[in-house]
Structure 1
Amino acid sequence: MVASLLLPTCAFAAETLTLTGVMTGADHQTYREVPFRVPAGTTAVTVQFSYTGKDERSVIDLGLRDPQRLRGWSGGNKSRFTLTETWATPSYLPGPLPAGEWKLILGVPNLRKDARAEYTATITLDDSPVFHGFAEAPLKAGPGWYRGDLHVHTQHSDGGCPSQTGRRVPCPTFRTLDAAVARGLDFVAVTDHNTPSHFQDLAELQGAYDALVVIPGREITTFQGHANVLGMTAPLDFQLGGPRAPDVAAILNQVDKAGGLFSINHPGLPSGEACMGCGWTAKTDDARVPAIEVVNGVGATGPLSGIPFWEKRLSAGHRVTAVGGSDNHDASLAGLRGVGTPATVVRADNLSQDAILAAIRAGHVFVDTQGTRDRLLDVTARAGGVTAGMGDVLALEKGALVRLHIKVKGAAGGQIVVRSDEPKFVPPPIPIDSADLTTDVAFGVDGKRHWVRVDVLGPDGALWLLGNPIYLR
């Protein structure tokens, strides 16, 4: 066997090594280890492998060693694999990525006496903590409204469900994904308390759930409140008030560095022995918080709702997106207690982790409190030839006329309610007398900073759909 190492090239935060070589008949039923170096600070090692000679039934199997141990063996079943500290492609072990000499193991179970097989191994060494999702490409192309649940628990924290014989046992992760599929969701964030241990499950399961974006999450559970961190797999120190995370800013710094999304959970809940640290009391720079879970489970309204907490921050001038999450702890439950109630519905460029989180940051979101499959709320504001949607900013001069264009589907018998920090912008409720209603509301502005948004209520006044604001500046 002849091997060569091409000089590395850099692309963004990644270093790429190319290992090439030739196997001959003399390598039949032998193993070879091809060395390469991993620098300190590497966060992911990805191997892409190919070889010639398959038409002559040549076979080259793969494995990998780090400086201390065997990290895995995939044989001939994978041509690409990734290892990180918290997850790895099945066949390989997650864990620290020590600097030093690693070895790509090549096993040759078959190579004919006169055959020749040329191989190429492209090794990408990434030093960025940013994670773009377990799926390598969007699961659906093109913009659309995508429905999901941003808050569920499994056996990796306190999620439980019935076993085969009916005993309550820690609930396997796949049960939650099955429940999300049964509910018609497009994405689900698995947010076990503080731990990254479920990321390996998600890495293994994403390929089998190829119409459901599986987002890694953690519910950071502190003595001063709970918050979801979505879309990052890098290690995270969560011990708020201790030396590892002395304040919320220290946690936010880690999240921002890794490209994650931070969302305060159920801020309206009380804190005490019944729910330790559930309400949000931590000192926080609200300008750094991109999202708040205003609907937790069926608690859309009433004294435990997160809506007043959120609207107080809107009126203080902050742009923050309202989301919802079921906080489901038992994947066997259905209906209003199941995965997908409520659903967070996002207008995203495609069905991928990056696009979903970008839509949440932008505020292109409404919350379907009952987790239906088809209810829709789409709101735009237009003035002076400029149009803005939910989450967007509309720049206005004093006296400008704003026209809200409201589209509602699947809510016949309900009513549209406009909400704002300025009562003059709020018309009387508008009855919804058809399954597909479009209506306009117009008002003049005073040139000051305001927000305006739209909700849909049921006949009994229950909140069905909660819209995010359009910001008037």
Structure 2
Amino acid sequence: MTQLHEWKTTNLFETTMSLNKSADQSHVMFRFFVPNGMDNIEIEFSFDPVMEEHYENVKEMIEEHVKYYDPNLLNNENAIKKMMPLRNLLTISVDDPIGFRGSCHRWEPISKIVVQDEDSTPGMLNRETKSGMWNIIVNCHSIVTDECKVHVKIDGKHKESLTKRWYHQPLHAPQFPLKTHEAISDSAREEYVWTKSEIHTHTNHSDASQTINQLLEKAKQLDIQCVAVTDHNTMSAVEHVQRLEEQYGIRIIRGIEWTTFYGHLLTLGYDHVTAINWSKVGPISLEESIQEIKKEGAIAGIAHPFRPGSPFCTGCHWEYAMDNISQIDFIEVWNGENPHKDKYNMEAFQLWTDLLNKGHQLAATCGRDWHNQDTDKEIAFLYTNVPSTYSNKDFLHAIVQGHSFITLGPTIDFRLNDCYIPGDKVSIYDGEVLSFNVSIGNSIEDYTVIIDSNIGIIGKETLNHYEKVLDNSEDIIWVRACVYSFNKTLIAFTNPIYIMHK
């Protein structure tokens, strides 16, 4: 094995903390990330002081506790002296991504622990130094001094140059297995309605200034019919959903914006108030957590994937390593206020288009990321197509299927062959004639309507009602309607209608 002094060192974690007697018989855990390529982990651990030096303090503590074990010793001065001195005892335990790695239970106040595939420090299991989230636990068996200073330093040893910070661009030109969804029947389409919704909101239960009541009152004023409350890493604002729904006449979807170090995951539709621990998620371990989320009845989508991340906005940039996107239900392509003017949203829109062109059937959404009550900026809304009497599951299904459009104002009725709407999958024969129909509502000005597809623009008109017949559909796999303002700014768009060739 190569000698350690020839290896490169990366500091993975370091802290100094002060504990007092209240931490006695407790565990202090720190989570840190170990990147690929680490050959071993070195832990330097120390605490000070080692023992209580003052005789009267020691005597008082002994007398306080010995009565629980042997009251007869209270009057036995020699026995009490034999119990002296009283020492602090703090030890280290380690978990790696596989599980419990070991514990070094020793009295020494200064120790160095090596964790590696062979010849680890006694107390640590020998196995691969696996990349992922690790835990180091300071086990406070006994703290007898008024103050105990603890220092922990964790270094990774490696042969190749590495960086601790996880920078990853997994969504650029990905080669994922295709993500598709099941076709649904449109036989009951006439009984469906378009519902105005907002699915990315926050309250003072996380980092917003507004209360849940203020949020819902404002939503009611804006004629929003369905609101998903997605506070950062908590669901405490929506513990009493039924009462709030009755009070405001708005459907409320329980949600959480999983605000992790490596990306924000917008999760919607939990069956009940739940608490899934986001902090255990590392940059290469997202899939297991999404499975937990879905067991709770929720769906999961990527929020604002291209916003700058730490230290500017913790985890706002999507950096998870992903082998496929089959567990991702949607991508938020428009985030925030004035979303049509945001360069990061333009990148997200282009990413979504690239995924569609590769054959993925992934729905797009928008979210105000609503933190404050008043704004003078433009706001986009998500309209979903749901049954006239719909359940939460119907609403979530519409999002996942892409039965929706996103708009700053004008509504879009986009149909293929007079019956298929965004999110539908249509099976056709090669060469079959396709008839598209686009109607724009809430119109106060002229718009340019574009019918877009994987082969480019197939129709363009400056009309509020536009019909297009396409004779050659051989290479088309998806189509969507986009609406542009007079200054050529995108202000509304639908999810695609998917074309399946027989």
Same fold (TM over 0.5): yes
Structure 2 unaligned regions, length at least 5: 1-189
Per-residue CA deviation, residues 157-176 of structure 1 (Å, 9 max, x unaligned), is 0001xxxxxxxxxx321000
Query: Which of 402, 420, 428 is the aligned partner of 2:453?
Result: 420
1:112 equivalent in structure 2:
none
Pairing 1:336–2:390 present = no
Could you tell me how far apart the structure 2 residues matched to 1:344 and 1:240 are? 32
Query: Which of 377, 398, 402 is the aligned partner of 1:363?
Result: 402
1:187 equivalent in structure 2:
226
2:455 and 2:476 in contact (8 A); partners too: no
> For 2:428, what is the secondary structure of its paired residue?
coil
1:287 and 1:318 in contact (8 A); partners too: no
Could you tell me how far apart the structure 2 residues matched to 1:239 and 1:262 are? 17
Query: Which of 157, 161, 173 is the aligned partner of 2:206?
Result: 157
Query: Which of 418, 427, 430 is the aligned partner of 2:461?
Result: 430
Could you tell me how far apart the structure 2 residues matched to 1:174 and 1:421 are? 44
Pairing 1:465–2:496 present = no
1:221 and 1:227 in contact (8 A); partners too: yes
More strand by share: 1
Could you tell me how far apart the structure 2 residues matched to 1:143 and 1:334 are? 32
2:277 maps to amino acid: D
Per-residue CA deviation, residues 252-274 of structure 1 (Å, 9 max, x unaligned), is 21122222111211112122322
2:367 equivalent in structure 1:
325
> For 2:246, what is the secondary structure of its paired residue?
coil
Could you tell me how far apart the structure 2 residues matched to 1:328 and 1:281 are? 23
> For 1:328, what is the secondary structure of its paired residue?
coil
> For 1:239, what is the secondary structure of its paired residue?
helix
Could you tell me how far apart the structure 1 residues matched to 2:375 and 2:192 are? 29
1:405 and 1:439 in contact (8 A); partners too: yes
1:438 maps to amino acid: H
2:344 maps to amino acid: L
1:173 and 1:201 in contact (8 A); partners too: no
Pairing 1:147–2:196 present = yes
Could you tell me how far apart the structure 1 residues matched to 2:192 and 2:207 are? 35
Could you tell me how far apart the structure 1 residues matched to 2:221 and 2:439 are? 27
Per-residue CA deviation, residues 401-456 of structure 1 (Å, 9 max, x unaligned), is 21111111123311101221112x523x3102xxxx33211224454462111111
2:234 and 2:275 in contact (8 A); partners too: no
Could you tell me how far apart the structure 1 residues matched to 2:474 and 2:486 are? 35
1:301 and 1:463 in contact (8 A); partners too: no
> For 1:388, what is the secondary structure of its paired residue?
coil
Could you tell me how far apart the structure 1 residues matched to 2:381 and 2:331 are? 14
Matches within 5 A, 1:380-419: 380-382=415-417, 387-411=419-443, 412-419=445-452
The alpha-carbon deviation at position 193 of structure 1 amounts to: 0.3
The alpha-carbon deviation at position 177 of structure 1 amounts to: 0.3
Could you tell me how far apart the structure 2 residues matched to 1:154 and 1:467 are? 29
1:258 equivalent in structure 2:
296
The alpha-carbon deviation at position 142 of structure 1 amounts to: 5.4
Query: Which of 280, 286, 299 is the aligned partner of 2:318?
Result: 280
The alpha-carbon deviation at position 290 of structure 1 amounts to: 1.5
The alpha-carbon deviation at position 220 of structure 1 amounts to: 0.6
1:377 equivalent in structure 2:
412
1:450 maps to amino acid: I
2:290 maps to amino acid: L
2:200 and 2:367 in contact (8 A); partners too: yes
1:415 maps to amino acid: T
The alpha-carbon deviation at position 325 of structure 1 amounts to: 0.7
Could you tell me how far apart the structure 1 residues matched to 2:419 and 2:245 are? 37
Indicate the RMSD between aligned Cα atoms, in angstroms: 2.2
1:267 and 1:309 in contact (8 A); partners too: no
The structure-2 alpha-carbon separation of the partners of 1:240 and 1:451, relative to structure 1 and needing over 3 Å to count, comes to farther
> For 1:271, what is the secondary structure of its paired residue?
coil
1:456 equivalent in structure 2:
483
The alpha-carbon deviation at position 354 of structure 1 amounts to: 2.3
Query: Which of 270, 276, 288 is the aligned partner of 2:308?
Result: 270
The alpha-carbon deviation at position 348 of structure 1 amounts to: 0.6
1:106 equivalent in structure 2:
none
The structure-2 alpha-carbon separation of the partners of 1:277 and 1:226, relative to structure 1 and needing over 3 Å to count, comes to same
Report the TM-score when normalising by structure 1.
Answer: 0.60
1:136 equivalent in structure 2:
none
Could you tell me how far apart the structure 2 residues matched to 1:267 and 1:323 are? 12
More helix by share: 2
1:110 equivalent in structure 2:
none
The alpha-carbon deviation at position 240 of structure 1 amounts to: 5.5
Structure 1 unaligned regions, length at least 5: 1-140, 161-170
1:286 and 1:313 in contact (8 A); partners too: no
Which protein shows a greater Rg?
Answer: 2
2:405 and 2:493 in contact (8 A); partners too: yes
1:194 and 1:238 in contact (8 A); partners too: yes
Could you tell me how far apart the structure 2 residues matched to 1:222 and 1:463 are? 31
